[in-house]
Structure 1
Amino acid sequence: MSDAAEEVQVKEGQATLYFASKKGVFYNPPQIPNRDLSVLALQQFSEMWASQPSKPAADRHRTLRQGSAPAPADAGAPEADVPEAAAAQEPPAPAAGEASETATAEAPASLPASASKPAARRGLRVLDALSASGLRTIRYAKEVSGLREVVANDVDPVAHQTMASNFGRNGLLEGGGEQSCRVTSTVGDAAALLYASRPPAGERFDVVDLDPYGTASPFLDGAVQAVSEGGLLMVTCTDMAVLAGAYPEACFAKYGAWPLKGKHCHEQGLRILLACIDSHAARHGRYITPLLSVHINFYVRVFVRLRSSKAAVKLSATKVSHLYQCARCDSFALQPLARVVDKGTHEKVVAGVGPPVERSCEHCGGVHHVGGPLWTAPMHDHEFVEKLLAKLQDEEGCSNLGSRKRLIGMLTSVAEELPDVPLFTSLSAMCGVMHLPCPQTVGALSALVRQGYRVSRSHTDPSAIKTDAPQRKVWDMLRCWAKRPECEAQKGKKKKEPLSPTSPAAAILAASPEEEADFRPVPEVQRMLSKKDGAGGKVGKFLPNPEQWGPGSRGTSHAAAFGAAEAAAAASNGAVDKRAENQGKRSRKRRAAEAAAAAGEAAAGEAATGEAVAGEAAAGEEAVQGDGGDDGAAEPPRKAPTLDRAV
Structure 2
Amino acid sequence: MNFVNLHTKFIYNFHNLTIFYKSIRFYSLIAMESEEPQQIVEGLAQIQTGGKVFYNPVQEFNRDLSILAISTYGMLLQKERSLKTSEEPSVEIHECGKKYDTGLSILEALSATGLRSIRYAKEIPGVKEIIANDISLKAVNDIKNNVNLNKVEHLVSPSHQDATMLMYEHKRENHFDVIDLDPYGCPSIFLDSTVQSIKNGGLLLVTATDMAVLAGNTPETCYSKYGAISLRTKSCHEMAVRILLQCIESHANRYGRYIEPLLSISVDFYIRVFVRVHTGNYKCKYTISKLSHVYHCTGCDSHILQPLGITKPNEKNQSITKFSLPTGPFTSSSNCTHCESPYHMGGPIWSAPIHNPQFVSEILQSASERLGTFKRIQGVLSLVLEELNDVPLYYTLQNLAGVLKLVTPPMTSLRSAILNAGYQVSASHMHKTAVKTNAPCKVVWDIMRCWEKLHPASQKNIANNKVASHILSQTSEQQHSFDIHPEATSQSKLKGLVRYQLNPLPFWGPGSKSQAMVGKEKMQKSRRNQGKRKREESIDSSV
Q: Does 1:551 align with 2:510?
A: yes
Cα shift at 1:458: 0.7
Q: Provide the residue aligned with 2:55 in structure 1.
A: 27
| Alpha-carbon distance between aligned partners in 2 of 1:41 and 1:313, rounded to the nearest angstrom | 25
Tell me the SS of whatever aligns to 1:525.
coil
The one-letter code of the counterpart of 2:42 is E
Q: Give the equivalent residue in structure 1 for 2:18.
A: none
Query: Is 1:51 matched up with 2:79?
Result: yes
CA shift at 1:186, angstroms? 1.1
SS of the residue 1:474 aligns to: helix
Q: What does residue range 2-21 of structure 1 map to in structure 2 within 5 Å?
A: 6-20=36-50
Task: Give, in angstroms, the shift of residue 442 of structure 1.
Answer: 0.6
**Cα displacement string for residues 38-80 of structure 1 (whole angstroms, at most 9, x for unaligned residues):** 11111111111223325769x9xxxxxxxxxx9xxxxx999xx
Alignment of 1:191-202 (within 5 A): 191-199=164-172, 202=173
Residues 49, 121 of structure 1: 8 Å contact kept: no
Name the amino acid aligned to 2:384: V
The whole-number CA distance in structure 2 between the counterparts of 1:45 and 1:472 is 42
Maintained 8 Å contact 2:101/2:128 = no
Report if aligned partners of 2:228, 2:243 keep a CA contact under 8 Å in 1: yes
Spell out, residue by residue over 1:245-278, the C-alpha distance to the aligned partner (whole angstroms, 9 max, x if none). Answer: 1111110000000011111000000000000101
Q: 1:16 to 1:358 in 2, by over 3 A?
A: same
Pairing partner for 2:67 from 6, 22, 39: 39
Q: Please name the residue that 2:372 is paired with.
A: 402
Mapped partners of 1:5, 1:196: distance in 2:
34
Q: Which runs of 4+ in 1 moved over 4 A?
A: 54-57, 580-587
SS of 1:172's partner is: coil
Contact 1:557-1:579 within 8 A present in 2 as well? no
1:162 aligned to which of 118, 123, 142: 142
**Once the 2 structures are TM-superposed, how far is the Cα of residue 543 of structure 1 from its aligned partner?**
2.5
Q: 2:286 aligns with which of 315, 319, 322?
A: 315
1:330 aligns with 2:301: yes
Q: What CA deviation, in whole Å up to 9, does each residue of 1:437-462 have, x standing for no partner?
A: 11111110111111110110111112
The one of 272, 280, 292 equivalent to 1:301 is 272
Query: What is the one-letter code of the residue matched to 2:326?
Result: G
The answer to whether the aligner puts 1:469 opposite 2:469 as a matched pair is no
1:427-466 alignment, distance < 5 Å: 427-466=397-436
SS in 2 for 1:198: coil
> Counterparts of 2:67 and 2:509 in 1: how far apart (Å)?
22
Q: CA deviation at 1:369?
A: 0.8
Which position in structure 1 is the counterpart of 2:475? 512
Q: Name the aligned partner's letter for residue 363 of structure 1.
A: H
3-state SS, counterpart of residue 251 of structure 1? helix
- Which residue number in structure 1 is paired with residue 181 of structure 2? 210
Q: Which has the larger radius of gyration?
A: 1
Spell out, residue by residue over 1:312-344, the C-alpha distance to the aligned partner (whole angstroms, 9 max, x if none).
Answer: 101111000000011111111000000013322
Q: 1:136 to 1:584 in 2, by over 3 A?
A: farther
How far apart are residue 348 of structure 1 and its match?
Answer: 1.8
CA distance in 2, matches of 1:15, 1:457: 36
Q: Give TM-score, length-normalised by structure 1.
A: 0.71
Q: What is the aligned counterpart of 2:484 among 521, 527, 535? A: 521
Report the CA distance between 1:544 and its aligned residue.
1.2
Deviation at 1:377, TM superposition (A): 0.4
Contact 1:210 1:234 in 2 (8 A): yes
Identical positions, percent: 41
Asked if 1:254 is matched to 2:225, the reply is yes
CA-based RMSD: 2.5
Aligned counterpart, 2:158: 185
**CA–CA separation in structure 2 for the residues paired with 1:527 and 1:375:** 26
Distance 1:77 1:454 in 2: 38
Mapped to 2, the partners of 1:264 and 1:477 lie a distance apart of 20
Letter in 2 for 1:16: Q
Q: How does 1:90-129 map to 2 (within 5 A)?
A: 122-129=102-109
Output one character per residue of 1:353-380: Cα deviation in whole Å (capped at 9) or x when no partner: 2111122211001111100000000000
**For residue 522 of structure 2, what is the amino acid of its counterpart?**
R
Paired residues of 1:431 and 1:478 also in contact (CA < 8 A): yes
Contact in 2 for aligned 1:434/1:509 (Cα 8 Å): yes
Number of the residue aligned with 1:482: 452
* Per-residue deviation, 1:391: 2.0
* Distance change (3 Å), C-alpha of 1:583 and 1:409: farther
> Which of these residues, 515, 522, 527, is aligned with residue 579 of structure 1?
522
CA deviation map 1:588-637 (0-9, x unaligned): xxxxxxxxxxxxxxxxxxxxxxxxxxxxxxxxxxxxxxxxxxxxxxxxxx
| CA distance in 2 between partners of 1:316 and 1:293 (Å) | 18
State the distance in 1 between where 2:186 and 2:466 align.
39
Residue 222 (str. 1) matches residue 196 (str. 2): no
Alpha-carbon distance in structure 2 between the residues aligned to 1:284 and 1:225: 7
CA contact (8 A) 2:312 2:323 kept: yes
**Residue 361 of structure 2 is aligned to residue 391 of structure 1:** no
Whole-angstrom CA distance in 2 between matches of 1:465 and 1:41: 27
Q: Distance in 1 between matches of 2:90 and 2:467?
A: 49
Q: Report the CA distance shift for 1:580/1:481 in structure 2 as closer, same or farther (over 3 A).
A: same
**Secondary structure at the counterpart of residue 462 of structure 1:** strand
- Of 285, 291, 310 in structure 2, the residue corresponding to residue 339 of structure 1 is 310
* Count of residue correspondences: 484
CA distance in 2, matches of 1:378, 1:304: 12
8 Å CA contact retained: 1:501, 1:507: no
Which of 383, 388, 411 is 2:381 aligned to? Answer: 411
Q: Runs of 5+ in structure 2 lacking a partner?
A: 1-32, 92-99, 531-543
Contact residue 191 and residue 222 of structure 1 kept, 8 A: yes
Paired residue type of 2:448 = L
1:418–1:456 CA contact under 8 A, matched in 2: yes
SS of residue in 2 equivalent to 1:52: helix
Distance between the aligned counterparts of 1:35 and 1:510, measured in 2?
A: 51
- Tell me the distance in 2 between the aligned counterparts of 1:425 and 1:245: 16
TM-score calculated relative to the size of structure 2: 0.85
1:446, 1:121 → 2: CA distance? 54
Hey, what does 1:535 align to over in structure 2?
Answer: none
Quick one: structure 1 residues 577 and 328, their matched pair in 2 at CA, closer, same or farther if it must change by over 3 Å?
same
Structure 2 Cα separation of the partners of residues 7 and 220 of structure 1 = 34
Q: Distance in 2 between matches of 1:140 and 1:191?
A: 22
* Partners of 2:58 and 2:487 in 1: CA distance: 34
Whether contact under 8 Å (1:159, 1:558) holds in the other structure is no
Q: 1:528 to 1:482 in 2, by over 3 A?
A: farther
Unaligned runs of at least 5 residues, structure 1: 60-69, 71-75, 79-119, 177-181, 533-537, 560-575, 588-647
Q: Which amino acid aligns with 1:228?
A: K
1:526 to partner: Cα distance: 2.3
Secondary structure at the counterpart of residue 123 of structure 1: strand
Question: Contact between 1:290 and 1:305, CA under 8 Å: does it hold in 2?
Answer: yes
